[in-house]
């Protein structure tokens, strides 16, 4: 027996017991709407004992008897029930029994599995520094997975679930994020129906799509020739230009807003989509040009020279050789520019006053008032998010390439 | 051939140049111009003469006398307008008998040269005459043609009035220095937080396992989603009255009263008898920044880590290096290049950030950064000149950063 080794198993048990209890307890609360009081200290104690039991069974020489996992699971359950006086989630067992049962099973299963994975080579005897560090890192990584998944997923979960609630339900119990089927599909998606019928969101969606797609087309029209020139043609100032493109997308939009607002107001371009379609490409062209020229440089120039030999013009070479070869890069750039234009907020907010030409971003801002209920705001957020997330998931490979290649505007 | 290639290159770059000059370089310079001018938001509508045309005298039968009246007004309270000329067409069936002195009639075309008018000037021009059948039959005959008034006025944006008042105003304001301090806190901790989170996330996903692709996609969500959606979600999530987080904390007995995460400037607490303040709203905003932008650094660090040669780790393993030692002595030095580039880039972009803070707190509760101050001065307080002056400060600080960035950026990363 080494104190360090015992401590290691206890730490693993404590951390997993407490973490699993808090996470599962909170999830139980959000799913059922009943306020659970996760018994973290009882769970911690149960975790410690079961982890110790696991290591003891695992390292004991006797091959027979109950396997280590089963043994530690039983200890876990027993200690938890005793230490929490049979209310592991602080709720009477009769309340939401199915969910509580599920949560309990999930708790026992996840703590046992986590301990078994983390402590798979652990023993009470002496362990090398290497072995101990491996176990600590397993614990840290495990916690990392749980924490990251929760902090990333929780806001999106709340966004979707809030949009499906009614005003009264939200005020009555902000913790109840379950899906309420009792009012039928219409009751469930009421916020969405109202946004599309009364708040003109169908139109905003069309405007956003139009603006984003036009921005992509305009950006490509400008940046493809520019990128080709920078990467393939020799001219004075080429190196300087390739460098300074990067500087342009460090210019903050807020610095451009006041002069553009002043000039566009006087030219009558403010509050028009034309105005937006001038500004958006201007902010995306440098990024697109930078990404494309990097890709064009990587293409073998022999192909283009062969094309020139065979009597193609430069334009012909670009259209028939360079562009077909760089389709993946074009896809990345297009998706990336689409994302920027779709998500853009500042200029849409400053320029657009007329609800007929609101983009989605601008439309969602107009929902942020005390007169509009929260679930409408969240439904608007969902409507703005779903298309761009859908595109992201569908074309993830291209978009990830785009994000890394462009080193991205922030 | 050389020359042709050069001209072709310039031709292909011309559209890009044109739009960038117009929309990026132009406004950058225009900022300096506006920042030394006393421009208010209302000045963007240039002074003009407003006109209203109506028929007086209620003519009932052909031959009745009537008056065509133009009411004119200078829209500006303090600017004169020069060379004011009114042009209109007299409606069909109206026979003009007397004209004001300043007006002349050529067929149906009426021209009145009014000359220079004072600020707050008001005037009525009356055309006496008789009406015929056609006039009476028409519905609102004076609406047949719209009177057009032209005139020259000082345009505050293009004249040569300069003032340093904008700068003296922003520098002498008490809050300016606190705005500057908040900006740096936000930038440094936001950048650092995003980098550290990204480094952790990259460590998690560096080894292959089932569901890794899924998690990588999920981890990118905060970055890919529209800022408007995630910012409002955070506001709803942390709302003191109906927010999930506060409900959880109070119901589970962690805190007794709901915490207003985005509305409370500071929490006071004492450690060993020393009273300290924790800037709550600013920290929440920084947490949002780190949350939203960690995916970017995560992506870059992961890409770099997967390109590190594994031989090195095998050798280290042989020599008995523990995992932490391997990370500290092998991985981290390899990642230093990308980390420093990411830090500098993100530092600049975080410094430039406006949307996030504006949507989360509106710059209240001690979260106003320089970029939010541009909006606050220029649009909330309607003082465009002062807003542009803050924008100039932003730009100057940024140029300093960019210079540092270019000087110290490691060349081999090739970003």
In order of their start, the domains of chain B are 47-153 (2.60.40.290), 167-413 (1.10.3720.10)
The answer to which of A66-70, B89-93, B153-157, B217-221 has the lowest mean pLDDT is B153-157
Residue-level pLDDT at B256:
83
User: How far off is chain A from B355, nearest CA to CA, in Å?
Assistant: 7
User: For chain B, how are helix, strand and coil distributed in percent, rounded to 5?
Assistant: 55, 15, 30
- What residues of chain A, 216 to 235, have a C-beta less than 8 Å from chain B? 221-223, 225-226, 228-230, 233-235
CA distance linking residue A143 with residue A145, whole number of Å: 5
Residue-level pLDDT at A65:
65
Residues A160 and A197 in one domain: no
Residues A135 and A200 in one domain: no
Give me the phi and psi of A175, to 5 degrees please: -90, -15
Residues A232 and A106 in one domain: no
CA of B413: which chain A residue's CA is closest? A407
Neighboring chain A residues of B262 at a CB cutoff of 8 Å: none
Whether the per-residue pLDDT at B383 is higher than 80: the answer is yes
Quick check: B30 contacting A, CB < 8 Å?
yes
User: How far off is chain B from A114, nearest CA to CA, in Å?
Assistant: 15
Q: Residue A167: which H helix or E strand, with range?
A: helix A167-172
Residues A253 and A338 in one domain: yes
Q: What is the mean pLDDT of residues B300-313?
A: 87
Residue-level pLDDT at B212:
87
Exposure string for B87-98, b = 16+ CB within 10 A, e = fewer: ebebbebbeeee
Residues A131 and A207 in one domain: no
Whether the per-residue pLDDT at B229 is higher than 90: the answer is yes
Neighboring chain A residues of B242 at a CB cutoff of 8 Å: 170-171, 174, 374
- What residues of chain A, 39 to 58, have a C-beta less than 8 Å from chain B? none
Domain stop point among A188, A215, A242 = A188
Residues A65 and A211 in one domain: no
The bridge status of strand B122-131 relative to strand B148-153 is unpaired
Distances (CA, A) of B77 to A77, B114, B115, B148: 81, 18, 18, 21
Residue-level pLDDT at A410:
42
Quick check: B5 contacting A, CB < 8 Å?
yes
Residues A340 and A242 in one domain: yes
Give the CA dihedral B186, B189, B192, B194, nearest 10 degrees. Answer: -60
Of B175, B171, B170, B177, residue with least CA distance to B386? B170
Whether the per-residue pLDDT at B153 is higher than 60: the answer is yes
Quick check: B276 contacting A, CB < 8 Å?
no
The answer to whether B88 touches B147, Cβ cutoff 8 Å, is yes
CA distance linking residue B321 with residue A252, whole number of Å: 46
- What residues of chain B, 39 to 58, have a C-beta less than 8 Å from chain A? 39, 44-46
CATH number for the domain harbouring residue A250: 1.10.3720.10
Domain stop point among A153, A188, A223 = A188
Q: What is the mean pLDDT of chain B?
A: 86
CA distance linking residue A237 with residue A229, whole number of Å: 11
Of B297, B300, B396, B347, residue with least CA distance to B35? B396
pLDDT per position as a tens digit, B52-83: 888 887 888 888 888 888 888 888 777 788 88
CA of A130: which chain B residue's CA is closest? B322
Residue-level pLDDT at A106:
92
Give pairs for A187-190: CB < 8 Å, separation 24+: A188/A164, A189/A164, A190/A166
Question: How many domains does chain A fold into?
Answer: 2
Quick check: B292 contacting A, CB < 8 Å?
no
- The one-character DSSP state at B271 is E
* Facing B234 at nearest CB: one of A155, A248, A285: A155
Domain stop point among A188, A206, A229 = A188
Are the beta carbons of A262 and B39 separated by less than 8 Å?
A: yes
Give me the phi and psi of B81, to 5 degrees please: -125, 135
Residues A141 and A62 in one domain: yes
Quick check: A117 contacting B, CB < 8 Å?
no
- What residues of chain A, 277 to 296, have a C-beta less than 8 Å from chain B? 278-279, 281-283, 285-286, 289
CA distance linking residue B354 with residue B5, whole number of Å: 42
CA distance linking residue A399 with residue A333, whole number of Å: 8
Neighboring chain A residues of B31 at a CB cutoff of 8 Å: 255, 258-259
Share of chain B above pLDDT 70, in %: 98
- What residues of chain A, 151 to 210, have a C-beta less than 8 Å from chain B? 151-156, 158-159, 162, 170-171, 173-175, 177
Quick check: A358 contacting B, CB < 8 Å?
no
- What residues of chain B, 349 to 408, have a C-beta less than 8 Å from chain A? 349-355, 359, 371, 374-375, 378-379, 384, 387-388, 391, 394-395, 398, 402
Range of the domain at A198: 191-406
What number of other Cβ atoms are within 10 A of residue A5's Cβ? 20
Residue-level pLDDT at B180:
92
Residue-level pLDDT at B413:
46
CA of A163: which chain B residue's CA is closest? B233
Are the beta carbons of A235 and B391 separated by less than 8 Å?
A: no
Quick check: A360 contacting B, CB < 8 Å?
yes
Residue-level pLDDT at A232:
86
Mapped onto helix, strand or coil, the DSSP state of residue A401 is helix
Quick check: A141 contacting B, CB < 8 Å?
yes
Residues A195 and A136 in one domain: no
CA distance linking residue A165 with residue A183, whole number of Å: 11
Q: What is the mean pLDDT of residues B336-364?
A: 90
Give me the phi and psi of B77, to 5 degrees please: -85, -20
Quick check: B243 contacting A, CB < 8 Å?
yes
Residues A329 and A183 in one domain: no
Tell me the three-class secondary structure of chain A, residue by residue.
CCHHHHHHHHHHHHHHHHHHHHHHHHHHHHHHCCCCCCCHHHHHHHHHHHHHHHHHHHHCCCCCCCCHHHHHHHHHHHHHHHHCCCCCCCCCCCCCHHHHHHHHHHHHHHHHHHHHHHCCCCCCCCCCHHHHHHHHHHHHHHHHHHHHHHHHHHHHHHHHHHHCCCHHHHHHCCCCCCCCHHHHHHHHCHHHHHHHHCCCHHHHHHHHHHHHHHHHHHHHHHHHHHHHHHHHCCCCCHHHHHHHHHHHCCCCHHHHHHHHHHHHHHHCCCCCHHHHHHHHHHHHHHHHHHHHHHHHHHCCHHHHHHHHHCCCCHHHHHHHHHHHHCHHHHHHHHHHHHHHHHHCCHHHHHHCCCHHHCCHHHHHHHHCCCCCCHHHHHHHHHHHHHHHHHHHHHCHHHHHHHHHHHCCCC
Structure-block tokens of residue A221? 């029209």
pLDDT along chain A (410 residues), means of 10: 84 92 88 82 90 85 70 88 84 82 91 89 83 89 93 93 85 77 81 90 94 96 92 84 77 90 88 93 90 86 87 87 89 90 94 92 90 90 94 81 55
Residues A306 and A170 in one domain: no
User: How far off is chain A from B136, nearest CA to CA, in Å?
Assistant: 38
CA distance linking residue A139 with residue A47, whole number of Å: 13
Neighboring chain B residues of A35 at a CB cutoff of 8 Å: 251-252
Residue-level pLDDT at B360:
94
* Neighbouring residues of B415: CB distance < 8 A, sequence distance ≥ 6: A407, B341, B345, B409
Residue-level pLDDT at A404:
64
Residues A332 and A257 in one domain: yes
* Neighbouring residues of B319: CB distance < 8 A, sequence distance ≥ 6: none
The pTM for the full model equals 0.87
Mapped onto helix, strand or coil, the DSSP state of residue A192 is helix
């Amino acid at each position: 027996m080494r104190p360090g080794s015992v401590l290691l198993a206890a730490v693993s048990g404590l951390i997993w017991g407490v973490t699993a209890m808090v996470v599962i307890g909170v999830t139980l609360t959000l799913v059922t709407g009943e306020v659970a009081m996760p018994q973290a200290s009882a769970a911690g104690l149960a975790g410690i004992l079961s982890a110790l039991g696991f290591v003891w069974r695992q390292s004991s020489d006797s091959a027979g008897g109950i396997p280590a996992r089963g043994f530690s699971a039983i200890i876990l359950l027993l200690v938890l029930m005793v230490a929490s006086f049979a209310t592991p989630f602080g709720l009477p067992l009769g309340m939401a029994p199915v969910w509580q049962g599920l949560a309990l099973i999930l708790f026992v299963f996840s703590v046992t599995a986590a301990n078994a994975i983390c402590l798979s080579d652990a023993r009470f005897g002496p362990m090398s520094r290497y072995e101990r560090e491996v176990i600590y890192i397993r614990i840290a990584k495990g916690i990392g997975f749980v924490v990251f998944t929760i902090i990333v997923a929780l806001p999106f979960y709340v966004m979707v679930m809030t949009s499906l609630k009614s005003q009264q339900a939200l005020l009555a119990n902000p913790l109840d994020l379950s899906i309420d089927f009792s009012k039928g599909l219409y009751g469930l998606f009421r916020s969405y129906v109202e946004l599309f019928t009364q708040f003109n969101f169908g139109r905003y969606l069309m405007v956003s799509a139009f603006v984003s797609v036009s921005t992509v087309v305009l950006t490509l029209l400008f940046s493809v020739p520019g990128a080709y020139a920078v990467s393939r043609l020799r001219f004075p100032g080429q190196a300087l230009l390739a460098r300074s493109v990067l500087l342009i997308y460090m210019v903050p939009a807020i610095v451009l807003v006041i002069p553009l607002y002043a000039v566009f107001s006087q030219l009558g371009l403010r509050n028009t989509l034309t105005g937006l379609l001038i500004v958006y490409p201007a902010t995306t062209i440098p990024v697109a040009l930078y990404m494309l020229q990097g890709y064009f440089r990587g293409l073998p120039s022999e192909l283009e020279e062969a094309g020139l030999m065979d009597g193609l013009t430069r334009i012909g070479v670009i259209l028939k050789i360079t562009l077909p070869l760089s389709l993946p890069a074009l896809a990345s750039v297009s998706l990336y520019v689409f994302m920027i234009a779709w998500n853009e907020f500042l200029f849409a907010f400053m320029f657009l006053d007329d609800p007929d030409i609101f983009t989605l971003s601008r439309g969602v801002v107009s929902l942020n008032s005390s007169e509009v209920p929260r679930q409408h705001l969240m439904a608007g957020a969902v409507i703005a998010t779903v298309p761009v997330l859908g595109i992201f998931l569908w074309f993830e490979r291209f978009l990830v390439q785009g994000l890394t290649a462009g080193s991205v505007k922030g | 051939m050389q020359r042709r290639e050069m001209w072709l290159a310039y031709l292909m770059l011309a559209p890009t140049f044109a739009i960038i000059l117009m929309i990026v370089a132009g406004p950058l310079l225009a900022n300096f111009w506006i920042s030394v001018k006393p421009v208010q938001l209302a000045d963007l509508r240039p002074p003009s003469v407003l006109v209203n045309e109506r028929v007086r005298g209620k003519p009932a039968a052909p031959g009745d006398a009537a008056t065509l009246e133009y009411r004119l007004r200078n829209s500006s309270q303090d600017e004169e307008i020069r060379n004011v000329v009114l042009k209109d067409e007299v409606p069909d069936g109206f026979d003009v008998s007397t004209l004001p002195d300043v007006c002349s009639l050529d067929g149906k075309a009426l021209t009145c040269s009014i000359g220079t008018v004072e600020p707050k000037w008001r005037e009525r021009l009356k055309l006496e005459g008789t009406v015929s059948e056609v006039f009476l039959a028409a519905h609102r005959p004076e609406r047949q043609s719209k009177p057009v008034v032209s005139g020259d006025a000082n345009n505050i944006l293009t004249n040569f009035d300069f003032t340093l008042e904008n700068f003296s105003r922003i520098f002498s304001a008490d809050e300016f220095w606190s705005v500057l301090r908040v900006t740096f806190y936000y930038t440094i901790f936001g950048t650092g937080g995003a980098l550290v989170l990204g480094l952790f996330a990259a460590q998690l996903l560096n080894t292959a396992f089932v569901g890794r692709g899924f998690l990588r996609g999920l981890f990118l969500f905060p970055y890919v989603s529209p800022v408007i959606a995630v910012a409002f979600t955070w506001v709803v999530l942390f709302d003191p009255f109906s927010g999930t987080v506060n409900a959880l904390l109070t119901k589970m007995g962690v805190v007794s009263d709901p915490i207003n995460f985005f509305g409370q400037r500071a929490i006071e607490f004492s450690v060993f008898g020393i009273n300290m303040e924790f800037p709550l709203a600013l920290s929440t905003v920084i947490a949002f920044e780190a949350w939203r932008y960690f995916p970017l650094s995560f992506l870059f660090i992961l890409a770099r880590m997967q390109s590190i040669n594994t031989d090195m780790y095998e050798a280290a393993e042989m020599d008995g290096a523990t995992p932490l030692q391997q990370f500290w002595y092998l991985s981290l030095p390899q990642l230093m290049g990308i980390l420093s580039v990411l830090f500098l880039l993100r530092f600049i972009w975080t410094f430039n950030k406006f949307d996030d803070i504006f949507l989360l707190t509106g710059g209240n509760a001690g979260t106003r950064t320089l970029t939010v101050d541009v909006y606050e001065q220029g649009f909330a307080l309607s003082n465009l000149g002062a807003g542009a002056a803050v924008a100039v400060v932003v730009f100057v600080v940024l140029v300093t950063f960019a210079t540092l960035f270019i000087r110290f950026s490691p060349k081999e990363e090739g970003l």
